[in-house]
Amino acid sequence: MSVNPCDVLNERLGAMFECRPQKDYFRVRTPFWYPDGGVVDLFVKTDPQHFLVTDLGEALGWLKLQSMSGKRSPKQQKLLQDVCLTLGVQLYKGQLVIQGADPAELATAITRLGQAAVRVTDLWFTTRTRSVESVTDEVDDYLQEQHVEHDKAVKFAGRSGRAWTIDFQTRTTASSALVCVLASGSRPGARRVTEHVVAGWHDLTALRASTQGLRFISLFDDTTDVWGEEDFRLAESLSDIARWSRPDEFVASLKAA
C-alpha cells in the first residue's frame, strides 16, 4: 500500500496522536494512558490492500504482570471478551488487533484499539481485594457521622479526555476536596494503587487550577502495613496526604480553610 499511515492520522486525528516509522511498523503514540500512567502506543503495519493495527501485546502483557499467578481469572476472561466484542477488536497471540482497515477507517481503528487497551488494563481492578470497597464504605459512614456533605464515586474528565472516578467529593463552608481512598492487601499492589491515583491527580490538575479552593486528598488505609515512604512521597507531590488510622485529623483537614 502506497498510502503513508502517518499522513492519514495527521490529517484526521491531529497533534494528539504522534506517528513515526519504526522498523516493520509505524508507531503511534496516543493520548490514552495505562492505569500506572504509562502512555498507550499502537503499531500500524501495511499490506498491499489494508492496514493492520496492533498493540503488540502490551495491554495483556501489562495485565499479566499485575497478577501473582500471571493468569487471568474467569471473570477477567469474560470481561476481556466483552471489551473486544464491543469495540470490534480481535485477540491474536496475546495481541489486541484490528485487521483490514482501509485509509478511511484507520483513524477510527486507532481510536477503538486505544480505548480497548485502556479497558483491558483496567480489568486489573477486578483482582483487587474487597478491602478497597470496605474501607470506602467506612469512610462514607464516618463522613456522614461527622456531618460532612459529600458525594460518592464522582466522575471527572482529565486533560487526556479520560474519565476518572474519584471516591468522594466533600464540601464544607471552608473548602471543597476530592478524596481518593488508597487500600491494598499487598506491597506490590500498594505501589500500583499509588501510581494509578497519582496518574489521576496529574490528569486532573487543570480542574484544581480552575476551581477556587479545591484540594486533592490521598487517603491511605494505613491500618495495613503495605505502604512504603516512597508511596507517601509520590502521592504528596500532587495531593495532600491523610491516614485512615487518624480519622479525626482527616475530617479536621476537610473542614480547614
Contacts of 197 (CB under 8 A, 6+ apart): 180, 182, 218, 235, 239
| pLDDT of 185 strictly over 70 | yes
Q: What percent of the chain has pLDDT over 90?
A: 44
Q: How far apart are CA 229 and CA 178, in angstroms?
A: 22
Helical pair 106-121 and 74-87, crossing angle rounded to 10 deg:
160
* Residue among 59, 50, 54 nearest 26 (CA): 54
Summarised one tens digit per residue, pLDDT across range 90-144 is: 999 899 999 888 888 888 999 999 999 999 988 876 655 445 567 888 899 899 9
Helix (H, G, I), strand (E, B) or coil at 43: strand
Cell match 492520522: residue?
9
Q: How far apart are CA 188 and CA 202, in angstroms?
A: 22
> Which pLDDT belongs to residue 165?
93
What grid cell was written down for 25?
511498523
Contact (Cβ atoms closer than 8 angstroms) between residue 162 and residue 200 = no
| Domain architecture of the chain: domains with CATH | 5-126 (3.30.1460), 131-255 (3.40.1350.10)
| pLDDT of 78 strictly over 90 | no
Q: What pTM did the predictor assign?
A: 0.56
pLDDT band at 250 (very low <50, low <70, confident <90, very high): very high
> Which pLDDT belongs to residue 129?
46
- Across the beta sheet with 18-22, what order do the strands follow? 18-22, 25-33, 39-46, 51-54, 95-101, 90-92
DSSP state of 190: H
What grid cell was written down for 136?
470506602
Q: What is the CA radius of gyration of the chain?
A: 21
pLDDT band at 2 (very low <50, low <70, confident <90, very high): low
